[in-house]
Structure 1
Amino acid sequence: MLSLNQSPSKLKWFVILFASLIGLASLYYTNELVDSLADREQEQIDLVAKAQELVVQVEDSLMLNFLVTSILQGNQSIPMIIADGEGNPSESRNIKFKKNATEEEKDNILREYLTSMKAARSPIEVKVSEEWKYYIYYENSTLLTQLKYFPYAQLSLIAVFLIFAYFLFSSSRRAEQNRVWVGLAKETAHQLGTPLSALMAWVEYFRADQSVEEEILQEIEKDIARLTMITGRFSSIGSIPDLNSENVLEVVEGVTEYLKKRISTKVKLTIRASKNAKLYALINKPLFEWVIENICKNAVDAMTETGGKGSITLFFSSDRSQKQLILDITDTGKGIPQSQIKTVFRPGFTTKKRGWGLGLTLARRIVEQYHNGKISVLKSEVGKGTTFRIILATSE
């Protein structure tokens, strides 16, 4: 079965082209019908005008009866008003009046119709004699008016169809991407399980050797514990995580303490918090640590052009009115061009020579889908650095 995502771009343009052709064909054909019907209505009104002139001239009662019943009264659709030269209506056809309308109300309605009819087209003059003439005013029938606007309604429906199709393809593509990421993450966790078990066994083996320093083994155990936690993170992707009320400042401090020993000493990590900031939020600690670690590691990588030297500042504040905890992570790296800011969270975006470009995508998924928060690029300037902002609901 052909997946919708194997050639989404071609499929998208095919749907747009197909819908556009339908719309143009419908618009063209309907306009042809409208023009044809308008010509027929014009001919019918002309015929009515000629019949009006003949009514006075014809002496044959049978012919007169034919003219009145077949031509004058045969108009059952075109709104028409007969008025004198001063604009006083005397007769009308196919004009709708409200029920139980008085003669005065009917006269006012006819005069309103006359005003709109005059603005639309010139009346047809009916010359009965040299001294007597009157005018026939008319407008498009209801059918013609509906047919005239039908293609625009149809185009609107086509536009709705295109929007629906776009969201259908987009959601389908995202769903398939999510399945790929979840499968990749769980397979990675599964593959890490075996070497982790072996590493733990090697630690116990080396501990039996008195020549191996205990401090070294403890650091190895910390890294194994870290790998075990990362494996747990990968295996939990695709599942709904448990959220607990945590002191986010303490969680972030734990991440930065771990990172300080594993990143360049030229990079300074600093944590600050505004006075009386609300620091508790409902989070999944392992997953949120992953977010902070990803952003900080990206910031360290962004400092390669400055010789690996710079600073990362994590600043906590809160919006009491909105009950929000705000964490701004600012680095002094190379910055992100304005043209790329909107794409940094998309899968595959990376400025590194090596990398899959999934770190920030996963960070956004964790913050927004699992924690109902928000993550964004607050500001960035090429050559000066970038600030990411994370917003969480406080639990205090």
Structure 2
Amino acid sequence: MKLNNYEIKGFIKVALLFFAFLIGFSSLWFTNNLVKKLASQEREKIATWANATRQIAASEGDNDINFIYEIIQGNTTIPVILTNEKGEVIGSRNLDSTLSVKSKKIEKKIEDMRAQNEPIEVLLDDGKKNIIYYENSLLLSQLKVYPYFQLGVIGLFLVMSYFAFSYSRTSEQNKVWAGMSKETAHQLGTPISSLMGWVDYLKESKNNVPQKVLDEIDHDMQRLSLITERFSKIGSEPTLVSYNLYDVLEESVSYINNRTSIKVDISLKNEELFKKVSVNVNKPLFAWVVENLCKNAVDAMDGEGQIYFEIDQILPNSVVFDVVDNGKGIAANKFKTIFKPGYTTKKRGWGLGLSLVKRIIENYHNGKIYVKSSDLGKGTRFRIELNTQV
């Protein structure tokens, strides 16, 4: 079975994630075992060091004393402190040169060693005892930290891989959007030009076509031309022009009101506030946003209800306004999903409307659009933020 690009990318993501976890788990397991073995060996070394110390204390001759000293001197990596049973420091090995035997720092060092490893007691022939405190060597300490460092590297690798794939997917989607839009505009352009010629022919002919009919045909032709222009702008950098927010919204609202049921009321609340604001928009694309939001709301209300636009805030460089309806509402876990291409609750929907709306607002106008709030069975409030000129 042949896999498509999305399935291949999905498989690669899962494979990378699996191998990353496998590498991380294997590394942790191996390093932990190595740390345990090394810790055991270091304790054996200290036990040998302790035995050598006891033998020196009990030695009456020089038969094996040099060999015993060699054992003691052979410890060059493990920090060790030797005390008598009263806690007085008798000797030490591999400590920081700044530590003084009589300082408080040495007492703190002994406490740290006791917390890290169980002290070893050295029983002497006279019944007294010495105590050996030790801590892990530098190598062992580094090995204990190494797995976490390695996990951090693996995590960084996963994050970088995720962003790389996301960027690749976004780029591919942008190319698809642009290609489809421009091809649609191209395919519409030829028949529209032909139809415009036929309309001009009808106007000049003597077929007694009612003027009202010609006006309606002409209006629909202009509408088709506007749709073609919208598609042609997707994928290219649109020109933003300053428009009065009220004028832009009112034009779109009037168009939709004339083409929807009289049972649906679409309006602007606090019109005077809208009239105070100018927004930097591409008018054809922004009108497309308004129409898509209103059409979705009408569908959610089953052709009966109320839609209104309401300003929330007018800031020095931006305006925040809401599009509110009293339709079916949106589940909270779908607030972000509804903007993804292909998501739809309609039987014959393509799931492109809100995805296109988000692309126009955020990619082409540097604004924001999101679901501010929604209650199932009560309605939804979409929030839009745009750059302004007050």
Code of the residue aligned with 1:296 in structure 2: it is C
AA paired with 1:115? E
Given that residues 331 and 386 in structure 1 are in contact (C-alpha distance below 8 angstroms), is that contact kept between their aligned partners in structure 2? yes
Does residue 257 (structure 1) correspond to residue 254 (structure 2)? The answer is yes
Residues 247-326 of structure 1 correspond to what in structure 2 (within 5 A)?
Answer: 247-273=244-270, 276=273, 278-304=276-302, 308-320=303-315, 323-326=317-320
Q: In structure 2, what is the Cα distance between the partners aligned to 1:97 and 1:366?
A: 67
Mapping of residues 142-291 of structure 1, within 5 Å? 142-207=138-203, 208-209=205-206, 211-273=208-270, 276=273, 278-291=276-289
Instruction: Quote the Cα distance in structure 2 between the aligned partners of 1:214 and 1:88.
Output: 114
Tell me which residue corresponds to 1:83: 83
Of residues 188-197 and 207-216 in structure 1, the stretch that sits farther from structure 2 once superposed is 207-216
C-alpha separation in 2, matches of 1:309 and 1:56: 100
Structure 1 CA distance, aligned partners of 2:268 and 2:213? 28
TM-aligned CA distance change 1:262 to 1:137, over 3 Å = same
- The one-letter code matched in structure 1 to 2:310 is F
Among 367, 378, 384, which residue is 1:384 paired with? 378
Give matches, 1:29-178, under 5 Å. 29-61=30-62, 63-68=64-69, 70-98=70-98, 103=100, 107-178=103-174
Q: Is the 8 A contact 1:81 1:92 kept in 2?
A: yes
| 1:227-261, Cα deviation, whole Å (9 max, x unpaired) | 11111111111111111111011011111122222
Q: How far, CA to CA, are the matches of 1:90 and 1:5 in structure 2?
A: 71
Report the residue type matching 2:145 in the other structure: Y
Consecutive unaligned residues in structure 1, runs of 5 or more: none
Q: Secondary structure at the match of 1:326?
A: strand
Alpha carbons 1:120, 1:139 under 8 Å: kept: yes
Amino acid at match of 1:77: T
Contact kept, 8 Å, 2:318 with 2:387, in 1: the verdict is: yes
In structure 2, C-alpha distance between the alignment counterparts of 1:343 and 1:395, rounded to whole Å: 32
Distance 1:380 1:90 in 2: 75
Displacement, 1:73? 1.1
**Match of residue 25 from structure 2:** 24
Q: Secondary structure at the match of 2:6?
A: coil
CA contact (8 A) 2:279 2:388 kept: yes
- SS at 2:180 equivalent: helix
Amino acid paired to 1:348? G
**For the Cα contact (< 8 Å) 1:274–1:316, is it kept in 2?**
no
Amino acid of the structure 1 residue aligned with 2:317: K
- The 1:218–1:81 alpha-carbon spacing in structure 2 relative to 1, beyond 3 Å, is same
Q: By how many angstroms is 1:376 displaced?
A: 1.0
How far is the alpha carbon of 1:62 from its aligned partner? 5.8
Greater Cα shift, 40-49 or 275-284: 275-284
TM-superposed deviation, 1:35:
1.2
Q: Secondary structure of the residue that 1:330 maps to in structure 2?
A: strand
1:295 partner SS: helix
1:395 and 2:384 equivalent? no
The answer to whether the 8 Å contact 2:335/2:370 transfers is no
2:337 is matched with 343
Equivalence for 1:334: 328
Give the TM-score, by structure 1 length. 0.92
Shift in alpha-carbon separation, 1:107–1:317, aligned structure 2, 3 A:
closer
Q: Following TM superposition, by how much is the alpha carbon of 1:329 offset from its aligned partner in structure 2, in angstroms? A: 1.2
CA distance in 2, matches of 1:188, 1:4: 23
| Cα gap change, 1:351 to 1:122, in 2 (>3 Å) | closer
The 1:129–1:58 alpha-carbon spacing in structure 2 relative to 1, beyond 3 Å, is closer
Identical positions, percent: 46
Secondary structure of 2:237's counterpart equals: coil
Contact kept, 8 Å, 2:273 with 2:311, in 1: the verdict is no
CA contact (8 A) 1:89 1:107 kept: no
Structure 2 unmatched runs, 5+: none
* 3-state SS of 1:136 partner: strand
Kindly provide the CA deviation profile for residues 331-359 of structure 1, in whole angstroms up to 9, marking residues without a partner as x: 22222222322211111111211121111
